[in-house]
Amino acid sequence: MPRVSKAEAERHRATIEQVSSRLFREQGFHGISVADLMGAAGLTHGGFYGHFASKDALAAIACTRAFEESGARWRKRVEESPDKATALAALIENYLSARNRNAAGTGCAAAALANDVAREGEEKPVRAAFVDGIRDLLEILEGVQPGDDPAARRAAAIAQMSTMVGALVLSRATLGTGLSNEVLAAAKAQLLAQVGDADGVSRGPTG
C-alpha cells in the first residue's frame, strides 16, 4: 500500500480533528468509538494511531478546537457591536437561542462537554483543554462588562457564563417539552435585564 504524502497526512489529521470535535460534542467522549470516528472522517481505523497517541489525546485536541470556534464567533460578535452593552446582549441572545440549543455538534463546548469532562480524571489532557477554553470565553465576557473594577467584572462574567451554560444544558436535556423553551426564555430575560440595568437601557429577548 503506497505511503501517503506529508500534505495528505496533514489533511487527514485535520479532517479527524474536525469530525471528532463535532461528534464528541454530539455524542460525548464515550458515546463514539475510534473506529466510528475514523469512519465518519472517511478513513480506516488502523490509521488513527499514526496521527494521535490515544483517544484521550484526540479528545483534548477536539475540545480545544471546539472552544476556538466558539471564541472566534464571540469575538466577531463583539467586534461587530457598537458598544460593550450591545455586544454582551448579542452574546446572550445568540447563546440562549433555540438554534444554538439544537446544534450541539457545532455549538459551545462548555455546554456540550462539561458533564463528560467532569467524569474524566484530573490527569486527563482534556481537563486542561476544557479549563483553558473556559478561561478564554470568560476573558471575552469580562471585556464587555461595565465598570472599571476587574474583580467585579470577572465575577459578573463568571455568573453570566454559569447561567448561560447551565440553561443550555437544561434546555437540551428537556428538549421535546415546553420546559426546554421556558428555560432558555427565563435565563435570557434575566441576563438581558441585568445588562439593561447596567447601561440604563431596557432590554428584552428579541425572539
pLDDT tens track for 120-145: 999 999 999 999 999 999 999 999 99
Higher pLDDT, 45 or 156: 156
Give pLDDT tens digits for 78-124.
999 999 999 999 999 999 999 999 999 999 999 999 999 999 999 99
- Is residue 58 included in any domain, yes or no? yes
**206 pLDDT higher than 80:** no
**170 pLDDT higher than 50:** yes
- Is residue 1 included in any domain, yes or no? no
Quote the CA–CA distance of 42 and 16 in Å, as a whole number.
Answer: 9
Band of the pLDDT at 198, cuts 50, 70, 90?
low
**19 pLDDT higher than 70:** yes
- Is residue 207 included in any domain, yes or no? no
CATH number of the domain bearing residue 53:
1.10.357.10
DSSP 81-109: SSSHHHHHHHHHHHHTSHHHHT-GGGS-H
Band of the pLDDT at 2, cuts 50, 70, 90?
low
Predicted local confidence at residue 146, as pLDDT: 94
Instruction: Name the residue range of residue 156's domain.
Output: 6-199
- Is residue 206 included in any domain, yes or no? no
- Is residue 34 included in any domain, yes or no? yes
- Is residue 166 included in any domain, yes or no? yes
Quote the CA–CA distance of 69 and 108 in Å, as a whole number.
Answer: 8
- Is residue 86 included in any domain, yes or no? yes
- Is residue 140 included in any domain, yes or no? yes
**77 pLDDT higher than 50:** yes
The total number of structural domains in the chain stands at 1
Quote the CA–CA distance of 5 and 141 in Å, as a whole number.
Answer: 42
